[in-house]
Amino acid sequence: MKKSLYDQLFELSKTIKTLTSIEYLLDWDQETLMPSHAIDFRAQQKALMAGHIHKLKTSSKFSHLLNQLIDLESGKVLDPSLSPAQNAALREWRRDHLQAIKLPASFVKTFTSTCSMAGNTWIEAKKTSNFSHFAPSLTKVFQLSRKKADLLGYQDHPYDALLDLFEPGMTVAKLTPLFDRLKTALTTLVKTIKSQPQIDTTCLKGEFNSELQIQFGKKILKAMGFTPEDSRLDLSVHPFCMPLHPLDTRMTTRTHHDDILSNIFSVIHEGGHGLYNKGLPLEQFGSPLGEQSSLGIDESQSRWWETRIGRTKPFWTHFLPLLQKDFPQLKNIQLDPFYLSINKVSPSFIRVEADEVTYSLHVILRFEIEKALLEGSLKIEDIPTVWNQKMQDYLGITPSTDAEGCLQDVHWGFGLVGYFPTYVLGNLYAAQFFHAFEKAHPDWQNRISQGELGFIREWLRTNIHQYGRQYTPEELVQRISGKSPHESDYVNYLNSKYKEVYGF
């Protein structure tokens, strides 16, 4: 029996997705296991793979199949027998295809190879805290990113073209006023907290074995719903989650001998990403219906688990005794002091280890720098100076080294320009989602204190994960919360929580 046009398109798309997962596997290996001298060959491998994937995405076969199902110019679906979900898949396939055909294969190969090399250079530069070592590579990345924006096209700002790749429909015009309002609210809250008596965190001091930290992280992941049969946790310079397939989630973390919390919250954060990957419909792998709605929605899942669950008293009612069993040096800590300690607000240099209140300020800083670099109002060599000044303006601290300043994130090295804003959007989306979750589960705190986490995972799967890209980010937020994306729920949550934590 001849397959339908839709099934033929799905089959071709599944081939592309499978090849993309192999590309992801090369990335994962480069960050975890690959010998450093293999970087030149790895860059060639990734360029070859990216070129082949791009060739399939832009092939006449793909275009022909798609054009028989949806008008590429108008977006009108041509097959009335398809379901609303299939219509949504066609909408997203069309969107991806129209973007892909704007990028020449030679450009895709060059961009991929350049970023692979730059990512490795970043690792070396970070080790020696030497931005000047990374600057030539970063110059190439931003030159190519600007070219990518020009190839993709935009109306108002080159940043819009890149931002749209990660958060469909988002623009500088929408983000700037949103971030300005949020920046004002957060800096005001930070100043208020600074005027209060500060929380003593000496109870968390100590030496913590790295391997034991990893094992405890795996216990949390097990409680969240992972098994060794469908996931891995490894070490890397910068924590990440690589979603190869719903049955293959690769997560990494990093440990510090004198800081046990860094690994714990890193694991919970990446676990949130991983659960989104696990929760996508397996039968839709290869279709847009089997992919994350956006990077902002994806980030809402990691920030949800890390902050709205992992930094709560009910969570540690259950997990603190387990932590104390594995690390006896913490045995005398009581729950209340521990809870206050893990929620201390203290402006710090490293974004991934920042407290809830200051976290988004780190991201807004990066957004402003990226935007300036793309529009040409900032030069690469001036990044450390501008970075340090913004850190002082927004957080009241100045990095003493490039490693704790502008070299701390891997994103620019890998060409992920336009990605950072999704971290803030994830916080905002998570706040709106959590408001709906609390209504559905008013007893959530009691259940978590008993060690139950499965009901949270299922609520997220039912309301978010199972739909893939059926709904746009804005539609999904509206569908769950009844409101368009906004910052009010997030700001209200932070004000309420930290008034209680600091007693003002």
Rg (CA), the chain: 23
Do 120 and 36 contact (CB within 8 A), yes or no? yes
Q: Which residues contact 20 (CB under 8 A, 6 or more apart)?
A: 53
Nearest CA among 388, 367, 318 for reference residue 170: 367
* Cα 375 from Cα 469, distance rounded (Å): 31
Helix (H) or strand (E) run with residue 231 in it: strand 231-235
Helix boundaries (H) for 252-355: 260-279, 295-303, 313-326, 335-342
Q: Quick one: tokens of 134?
A: 């990374």
Q: Which residues contact 361 (CB under 8 A, 6 or more apart)?
A: 183, 186, 187, 190, 394, 395
Catalytic residues, which ones?
A: 270
* Cα 163 from Cα 420, distance rounded (Å): 9
Q: Determine how many CB atoms are found less than 10 A away from the CB of residue 59.
A: 16
Nearest CA among 23, 15, 11, 93 for reference residue 51: 23
Instruction: Report the C-alpha dihedral over residues 326, 247, 470, 463, rounded to 10 degrees.
Output: -40
Do 307 and 299 contact (CB within 8 A), yes or no? no
Instruction: Report the C-alpha dihedral over residues 128, 134, 135, 137, rounded to 10 degrees.
Output: 170
Both ends of the chain: CA-CA distance in Å?
71
| Torsion sign, CA atoms 469, 308, 177, 141 | negative
Angle between helices 5-32 and 105-128 in degrees, nearest 10: 30
Pairing of the two strands 231-235 and 248-253: parallel
| Torsion sign, CA atoms 143, 164, 243, 349 | positive
CA distances from 285 to 82, 102, 192 (A): 18, 25, 48
Pairing of the two strands 241-245 and 231-235: unpaired
